[in-house]
Amino acid sequence: MGLFGISWATIVLSIAVGYILLMFLQWYLKFRRTAIVLCKIPGVKTEFLFGNSRQMPGLNEAAFEWMFKNVTERPRLSLGWLSSFLPMVNVVHADTVKVILKSSAPKSRSLYSLIMSWLGEGLLISNGEKWFRSRRLLTPAFHFDILKAYLEVKNRASSIFVDKLQAYADKEEYFEIFEHACMFSLDVILQCAFSYKSDCQTAKMKQPYVQAVWELNDLLADRFFKFWLYPDFIYYLTSNGRRWKRACDLVHKVAENIIQERKQTLISDAKKGKETKCKDFLGILLTAKDDNGTGLSSAEIRNEVDTFLFEGHDTTTSGTSWTLYEIARHPDVQDAVYKEISEVLEGRDNDNILWEDLPKLTYLTQVIKESLRLNPPVTFIQRVTDEPMTLEGYDIPVGTTVNVVIVNVLINPTLWEDPLKFDPDRFSPERNDERDPFSFVPFSAGPRNCIGQNFAMNEMKTVIARIVHRFKLELHPTHKVERQLAATLKSKDGIMMKAIPREKL
């Protein structure tokens, strides 16, 4: 018996249903108030339930045409809907991007929660005090003196890369550049950040880690536009969800092996009374402590290792590959790059790039920046407002998801003249003052800019200079190159090219 002849089970169930209905009503009223405010912002007409999520024509080259059309029609900001209940404000102009990236707005959980099981709350995803602490502890790993020491590693890895291309040149064979750039970048980050030597560039079998990262890239891009798969408990019931979990397990195992090997080295050196230098990224992770003597936990260390393994090789792979593609595609640009490099290296016994050479490679730097403008490795980032703000006269409520659409900022016709044309002279020293810094954000900007951007630029300059100094690059005449959106920008079917030794020209 219950109360007034009603069973206790019925009473409890009624209370539970009433509570759920009350919570839903509160959420709906809050959502409705927010939607009324945001709907004043111009945007593309939506579909019921799916919003704008099905309007992008795939994750291919056609998507870039669609995005260019959008930024041409709405060049400052727009409203998009991932579903009928997930509004997102897209900022695509230096003036609107600046407000977001200079603010304290944290990373949005609607996107970054999708990669939490992969990267954890590392520097890329964490917010607030947790992010500030990690950034402060890890900044010494990218000090000027340490970056300078890394150049020797980058030259060694570049020599292996160049020798591999020489083997193709000897046979007059075409090769796919992304594959080799990926192994080079992985070799560099393993040695520089983790003092971990591998044979990844010369191994005959493909690296399982790299295959896993590429799979995670593709799965993430696919999942982003399927809002019904956002809850992990639903996603893991699907075949893609199970693939995601297997790939995550593999990359975690690689990270844990790297960490364990370094810990054993530290223990061994301590027993021998040997002082171990811990100036690389992993060494700092293992030894860094707060003012109160607290270091990073095992979980925090693995999260940062996973983050930097991915960020440190995948984005640089994309930047290097697309720059070599643009160089091969524009013979006049390639000739100018070769001329500059030859002048810098004149009289040398080898073509190693020295630290003092890097600032002399001004035109190569322009070429890399222009390639990053047209082919940004990371095409957008996401924030969520933690305070009310106004953009272009529109009110943006607290809790609004904001997409900084990097790819659209970089081709915005109100910021760039003839924006789809490849023109390295846009970045000539005399024109730098003409440009708002927030119009060129391939490495993000503001307090949460990419901590490794100087590391990445030095790496790209070194390897590209070494390759172009040794070879003239030609694209395969019939292979179609198409960009593909993923966590980082890829090529749908790769980029096929040929290396012709300079001495044969």
Burial 165-200 (b: 16+ CB within 10 A, else e): beebbeeeebbbbbebbbbbbbbbbbbbbbbbebeb
Per the CB < 8 A criterion, the answer to whether 165 and 471 are in contact is yes
For residue 459, the model assigns a pLDDT of 97
Beta bridge partners of 87: 81
SS3 476: coil
The model's pTM is 0.92
For residue 465, the model assigns a pLDDT of 98
Q: Is 486 left (phi over 0), alpha (psi -120 to 50) or beta?
A: beta
Beta bridge partners of 394: 391
**In 61-102, where does DSSP find H-type helix?**
61-73, 94-101
For residue 8, the model assigns a pLDDT of 63
Q: Which domains does the chain have, with CATH numbers?
A: 39-504 (1.10.630.10)
For residue 6, the model assigns a pLDDT of 63
For residue 273, the model assigns a pLDDT of 67
For residue 143, the model assigns a pLDDT of 83
Distance of CA 502 to the CA centre of its chain: 34
* Six token digits for residue 289: 């402590």
For residue 276, the model assigns a pLDDT of 59
Q: Could you report the average pLDDT of every consecutive run of 10 residues in the chain (505 residues)?
A: 60 77 81 90 90 88 94 96 91 96 82 88 86 85 86 96 97 96 93 86 82 90 88 94 95 91 79 67 81 80 89 93 98 98 93 96 98 96 92 94 96 97 95 90 92 94 98 97 91 96 85
**Residues contacting 280, CB < 8 A, separation 6+:** 141, 146, 192, 193, 194, 195
**Residues contacting 258, CB < 8 A, separation 6+:** 190, 194, 196, 282, 305, 309
